[in-house]
Amino acid sequence: MPILVMKFGGTSVATLDRIRRAAKRVGREVAAGYDVIVIVSAMSGKTNELVGWVNETSPFYDAREYDAVVSSGEQVTAGLMALTLQEMEIPARSWQGWQVPLKTSSAHGAARIEEIPTDNVMGRFEAGMRVAVVAGFQGISPEGRITTLGRGGSDTTAVAFAAAFGAERCDIYTDVDGVYTTDPRISPKARKLDRISFEEMLELASLGAKVLQTRSVELAMRYNVRLRVLSSFEDNNAEAGTLVCAEEDIVESKVVAGVAYSRDEAKMTLISVADRPGIAAAIFGPLSEAGVNVDMIVQNISEEGRTDLTFSCPVDQVARAQKALQQAKETGDVNFHDLVADTEVAKVSVVGIGMRSHAGVAAKMFKSLKDENVNIKVITTSEIKISVLIDRKYMELAVQALHDAFELEKAA
């Protein structure tokens, strides 16, 4: 029988009633002739509670025991979902990550999936099981310990299973009914997209859109797994939600697909840095070792032999970045006059595969921001993206202005 992967997020399984509702959706797919692999998250709020317990018990915790604790939320949901399906007389069994086994690296708390052997689960399908309910977010290390994949890891689990089992499709059920041109809470004109390319979704996810985890989209693009994002709170038909697929599966698309934003950004500037070979490595090496996630980078020539270097990072990593750079200065690896941090900025981006073949996107973007008196602090571009750093107080105004400028409320 063909295989379908269905993933239910925390809000979709937050209560027993919602688990029953999700189970009915699974039952319909079984009745349609699919063997189904269901990936479940922990019930809404449970993972945060478990993380809080770990921190309260041991502020400098052992990462292996952290994984043992926080992975338990998904195990509870998997068991409850399997029991609910059994009550519906659907042959179902719950699976923890180690039982599959989903093999990962040893990086506890942020493990990478290395292999998913299919023999165990396929053997049970052949023996009459119709639904395998798998605890998302978790696997097993080479040392035989439970690992977790990082927050949002259940999306990655679902895509990895779809790739390993050659699933016809991977349906991601969440609390929104698809991918929108921007956040509907900011722009009431935001429109749900019927289809979006892997590349566009990857950019939107990395730029702040919360619908899908970035790693899951990367995995789907690599293995050409067709993803469908849809609501678990609405009755869905075959055309519901948003299909994330290859670019060639989209007949026609607008130049810009969406506007994304990230509110919690910071801009950091090293003033008067020695302009010499290797200076960038000397700066960004310590930042990487300190776990600072650097995004936008701009270098300007100032006085002779000196340069100013600006980069952005999450606002909660500013102190870590300042400490790493100060230590590098004290050891003589980096010499700079001053380090200035601006923690009141936001990143706003326009994304679209149509930008590859259409000129004028940057000009229209910058003009629309100028018309609203929004000053641009930093600009970066890629083949299908333009991002700017602006004052955070103008973020919502900028998102609305760009959405209107590119007429994203209209279909292609």
Annotated binding-site residues for ATP read 7-10, 174-175, 180, 185, 210-211
Instruction: Give per-residue pLDDT as tens, 122-150.
Output: 999 999 999 999 999 999 999 999 999 98
> What is the distance between the alpha carbons of residues 359 and 345, in angstroms, rounded to a whole number?
28
pLDDT tens digit string along 54-72? 999 998 899 999 999 999 9
Q: Where in the chain is the domain with CATH 3.30.2130.10?
A: 259-405
- The C-alpha atoms of residue 296 and residue 376 are separated, in whole angstroms, by 13
Quickly state the pLDDT bin for 248 (edges 50, 70, 90): confident
Fold adopted by 3-175 = Carbamate kinase (3.40.1160)
Binding residues: 7-10, 47, 74, 174-175, 180, 185, 210-211
Per-residue model confidence as pLDDT tens digits over 12-42: 999 999 999 999 999 999 999 999 999 999 9
How confident is the model over 393-406, as pLDDT tens digits? 999 999 999 999 99
* DSSP class per residue in 266-277: EEEEEEEEE--T
Q: What is the pLDDT of residue 60?
A: 87
Q: What is the per-residue pLDDT for 204?
A: 86
Is the pLDDT assigned to residue 210 strictly greater than 80? no
Q: Binding-site residues for substrate, please?
A: 47, 74
| 303-358 pLDDT, tens digit each | 677 888 999 999 999 999 999 999 999 888 888 889 999 999 999 999 998 888 78
CA separation for the pair 30, 12 (Å, rounded): 19
Instruction: Compute the distance between CA of residue 69 and CA of residue 60 in angstroms, rounded to an integer.
Output: 15
**Fold topology of 259-405:** VC0802-like (3.30.2130)
Kindly report the number of other CB atoms within 10 A of residue 291's CB atom: 10
Per-residue confidence (pLDDT) for residue 300, from 0 to 100:
79
**pLDDT-derived band of residue 208, with 50, 70 and 90 as boundaries?**
low
The boundaries of every CATH 3.40.1160.10 domain in the chain are 3-175
Give the pLDDT of residue 89: 97
Computed over every residue of the chain, the mean pLDDT equals 92
Q: β-strand 113-115 against 103-104: which pairing, if any?
A: antiparallel
